[in-house]
């Protein structure tokens, strides 16, 4: 069974929780990020992205390029992700002023494209001779990929082709280089593959599909490629080891990959493209590789929050079951990428496992990547912070207790923005004969198969979902893996629905009301003891949300708290409006004296401990935080 959520362009108007988040991104994040790109945000890391494009355009017009290029070699991609987020925002909420801003930016970008289709301000401004001499590190294809994604989104939102044409020209230029002229190689950071497949779907330009297939199929076939490339040049960006192919998933051909390895974002971007191509080409060998990689991630290398890439060393996947809470890396972008991968897996096979993970990554790590007011961002998402250690100790320096405003390497903030604004692409999908509700998102949806629906829900807090469906055809609604007791009513009548691989199927003819009441229990989650870091611990979940304990709600310290088997109830908290918190029976250990170790057993005092959704942590100043808590069984 095939579903193509990206192929069919169902429309979704977000409301409720997702609608509020989209509004936040539209009203706060997008303007803020634009001010960052223009270096107009106070007390923020310099970006220079906007100026880089002006300077590149100046060079191409025969000028001196102003104050030159500034930033990471992939600085351009911040502009692309911002435009993509703005495009999704415009699709949700038309805004002529924002559209004008984007149009103007696109005009500059178009002027920064060389006559041959080349687009990358870093090399256009300062190093024209170095173009494509460092696929290992230079991120030219990565940046092209992000602009291709932005172009598709902006075209979908506005019907305007200017950026789309720029990127089609860029794609043709790359096709000429890598296919017509047979230049060897593939990008050090996968991204363009999934973007070319989007561009193909949007434009039907077959060269895009061919080039994506070419990059995927040649990747890893010559383990000496990057080394040979490095020998030919006298410069590098970071002096990367050209033989560390596993880091960039180029140690073996893509369809021979077995374990999720290396830089986590690179990995899931590649796997996304592989899964996308597998469904486009109906390529079961490639899908089998994707399934192995999916299992590697979700059965052996994923945090309960949907965070992946547990080690700071290379922002990478570690070995199986190495999932420490306090030194976690779990990059925000990697969880965005895990959502992309999951959504493409759903196109190969409708299976609730994929949507369960997509939901886990979104409601926990992706949302945690942004402060509740949209003004600060996490790059790294630890599952435990300890004040005085986190952000300070050499092994915990990357695990910050509060979100910074921006990053010199600013990949994550715009990634969160674009993922939220395009939530409808992940929540809803469509195959030739069926409309799908993968995630539960309030709002109106129109599918191409003629079905339209309005979804009303207070999800992820209220775990009831009501669909007013009209039209004729088949509708599939996911039954979340976490819901052990779901009641279904169709037009008010309790209905027994048999689910297949985590989906319930409804034949719609006319107008129907489908109501789902999911399991509202607060759940204690236990980890498999194959994860050494989590033995003896428990965490709380309700619906798709992972909860955590913060010192703020618990008298300063949470490390001395152990949950008991007592009651857990939902509650509200003034300091987190609109958020359902959990009050749970626990004990606090009191320890006598200032020695590190004692043979005197601690005394336990009963307390009520308060847990808050993980995505809301770090919004109320620095304090201790724990997802996984001790428990007394």
**Residue 560 binds its own copies (CB under 8 A):** yes
Size of the site for its own copies (CB under 8 A): 65
Closer of 98 and 531 to its own copies (Cβ): 531
Contact with its own copies (CB under 8 A) among 282, 299, 566, 621: 299
Contact with its own copies (CB under 8 A) among 226, 377, 406, 482: 482
Least distance CB 264 / its own copies (angstroms): 13
Quick one: which segment of 27-35, 279-287, 492-500, 587-595 binds its own copies (CB under 8 A)?
587-595
**Residue 533 binds its own copies (CB under 8 A):** yes
**Residue 180 binds its own copies (CB under 8 A):** no
Pairing of strands 493-495, 487-490: antiparallel
Contact with its own copies (CB under 8 A) among 183, 224, 319, 408: 319
**Residue 426 binds its own copies (CB under 8 A):** no
Q: Return the number of other C-beta atoms located less than 10 Å from residue 283's C-beta.
A: 18
Closer of 204 and 313 to its own copies (Cβ): 313
**Residue 450 binds its own copies (CB under 8 A):** no
Q: Which two tokens stand for residue 351?
A: 């299976």
CA 520/CA 480 separation, integer angstroms: 12
Please name the residues in contact with 249: beta carbons below 8 A apart, sequence gap of 6 or more.
190, 219, 220, 257, 261, 262, 263, 266, 267, 270
Contact with its own copies (CB under 8 A) among 313, 485, 492, 507: 313
Three-state SS string across 119-182, please?
Answer: CCHHHHHHCHHHCCCCCCCCCHHHHHHHHHHHHHHHHHHHCCCHHHHHHHHHHHHHHHHHHHCC
CA 491/CA 40 separation, integer angstroms: 54
Handedness of CA 14, 15, 17, 19 (dihedral sign): positive
Contact with its own copies (CB under 8 A) among 304, 463, 477, 545: 304
**Residue 322 binds its own copies (CB under 8 A):** yes
Quick one: which segment of 201-209, 249-257, 294-302, 548-556 binds its own copies (CB under 8 A)?
294-302
**Residue 591 binds its own copies (CB under 8 A):** yes
**Residue 384 binds its own copies (CB under 8 A):** yes
**Residue 192 binds its own copies (CB under 8 A):** no
Closer of 464 and 630 to its own copies (Cβ): 630
**Residue 535 binds its own copies (CB under 8 A):** yes
Least distance CB 412 / its own copies (angstroms): 21
Give which of 111, 105, 112 is closest to 79, Cα–Cα.
105
**Residue 483 binds its own copies (CB under 8 A):** no
For 441-476, b/e burial (b = at least 16 CB within 10 A) is: bbbebbbebebbbbbbbebbbbbebebebebebebb
Which residues in the 488-527 window bind its own copies by CB under 8 A?
Answer: 523-527
Contact, 214 vs 197, CB < 8 A? no
Give which of 73, 119, 45 is closest to 238, Cα–Cα.
73
Contact with its own copies (CB under 8 A) among 394, 492, 510, 577: 394
Contact with its own copies (CB under 8 A) among 327, 351, 364, 619: 327
Strands (E), 234-387: 384-385
Contact, 476 vs 505, CB < 8 A? yes
Q: Return the number of other C-beta atoms located less than 10 Å from residue 339's C-beta.
A: 26
Please name the residues in contact with 350: beta carbons below 8 A apart, sequence gap of 6 or more.
1, 3, 431, 436, 476, 501, 503
**Residue 84 binds its own copies (CB under 8 A):** no
Least distance CB 401 / its own copies (angstroms): 13
Closer of 461 and 526 to its own copies (Cβ): 526
The residues carrying an active-site annotation are 315, 411
Closer of 408 and 632 to its own copies (Cβ): 632
**Residue 311 binds its own copies (CB under 8 A):** yes
Interface residue list for its own copies (CB under 8 A): 298-300, 302, 304, 311-314, 316, 318-324, 326-327, 384, 386, 388-389, 392-396, 482, 484, 523-533, 535-537, 541, 557, 559-560, 562, 589, 591, 594-602, 604, 630-633
């Amino acid at each position: 069974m095939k579903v193509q959520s990206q192929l069919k362009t169902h429309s979704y108007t977000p409301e409720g929780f997702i609608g509020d988040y989209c509004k936040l991104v539209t009203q706060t994040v997008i303007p803020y990020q634009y001010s960052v790109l223009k270096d107009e945000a106070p007390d923020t890391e310099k970006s220079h992205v906007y100026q880089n494009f002006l300077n590149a355009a100046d060079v191409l017009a025969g000028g001196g390029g102003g104050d030159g290029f500034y930033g990471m070699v992939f600085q351009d991609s911040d502009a692309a992700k911002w435009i993509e987020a703005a495009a999704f925002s415009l699709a949700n909420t038309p805004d002529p002023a924002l559209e004008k801003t984007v149009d103007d930016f696109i005009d500059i970008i178009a002027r920064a494209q060389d006559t041959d289709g080349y687009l990358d301000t870093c090399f256009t401004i300062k190093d024209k001779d170095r173009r494509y001499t460092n696929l290992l590190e230079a991120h030219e294809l990565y940046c092209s990929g992000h602009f291709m994604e932005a172009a598709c989104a902006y075209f979908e939102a506005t019907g305007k082709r200017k950026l789309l044409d720029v990127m089609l020209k860029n794609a043709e230029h790359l096709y000429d280089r890598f296919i017509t002229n047979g230049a060897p190689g593939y990008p050090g950071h996968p991204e363009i593959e999934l973007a070319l497949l989007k561009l193909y779907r949007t434009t039907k330009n077959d060269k895009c599909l061919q080039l994506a297939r070419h990059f995927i199929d040649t990747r890893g076939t010559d383990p000496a490629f990057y080394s040979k490339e490095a020998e030919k040049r006298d410069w590098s960006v970071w002096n990367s080891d050209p033989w560390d192919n596993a880091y960039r998933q180029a140690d073996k051909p893509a369809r021979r990959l077995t374990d999720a390895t290396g830089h986590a974002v690179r990995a899931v971007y590649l796997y996304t493209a592989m899964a996308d191509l597998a469904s486009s080409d109906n390529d079961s060998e490639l899908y089998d590789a994707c399934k192995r990689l999916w299992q590697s991630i979700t059965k052996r290398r994923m945090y309960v929050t949907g965070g992946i890439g547990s080690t700071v060393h290379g922002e990478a996947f570690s070995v199986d079951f190495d999932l420490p809470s306090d030194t976690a890396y779990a990059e925000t972008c990697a969880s965005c990428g895990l959502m992309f991968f999951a959504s493409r897996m759903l196109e190969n096979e409708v299976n609730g496992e994929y949507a369960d993970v997509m939901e886990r990554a979104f409601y926990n790590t992706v949302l945690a990547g942004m402060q509740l007011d949209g003004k600060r961002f996490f790059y790294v998402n630890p599952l435990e912070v300890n004040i005085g250690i986190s952000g300070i100790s050499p092994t915990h320096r990357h695990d910050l207790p509060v979100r910074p405003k921006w990053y010199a390497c600013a990949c994550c903030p715009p990634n969160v923005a674009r993922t939220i604004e395009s939530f409808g692409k992940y929540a809803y999908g469509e195959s030739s004969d069926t409309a799908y509700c993968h995630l539960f998102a309030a709002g109106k949806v129109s599918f191409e198969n003629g079905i339209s629906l309005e979804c009303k829900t207070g999800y992820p807090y209220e775990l009831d979902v009501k669909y007013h469906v009209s039209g004729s055809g088949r509708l599939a609604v996911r039954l979340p893996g976490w819901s052990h007791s779901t009641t279904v009513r169709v037009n008010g009548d309790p209905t027994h629905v048999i689910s297949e691989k985590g989906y319930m199927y409804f034949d719609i003819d006319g107008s129907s009301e489908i109501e789902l009441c999911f399991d509202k229990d607060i759940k204690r989650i236990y980890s498999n003891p194959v994860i050494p870091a989590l033995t003896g611990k428990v965490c709380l979940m309700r619906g798709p949300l992972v909860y955590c304990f913060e010192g703020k709600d618990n008298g300063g310290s949470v490390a001395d708290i152990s949950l008991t088997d007592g009651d857990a109830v939902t509650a509200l908290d003034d300091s987190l409006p609109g958020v359902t918190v959990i009050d749970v029976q626990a004990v606090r250990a009191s320890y006598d004296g200032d020695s590190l170790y004692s043979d005197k057993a601690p005394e336990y005092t009963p307390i009520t401990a308060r847990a808050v959704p993980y995505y809301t942590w770090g919004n109320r100043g620095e304090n201790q935080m724990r997802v996984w808590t001790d428990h007394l069984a």
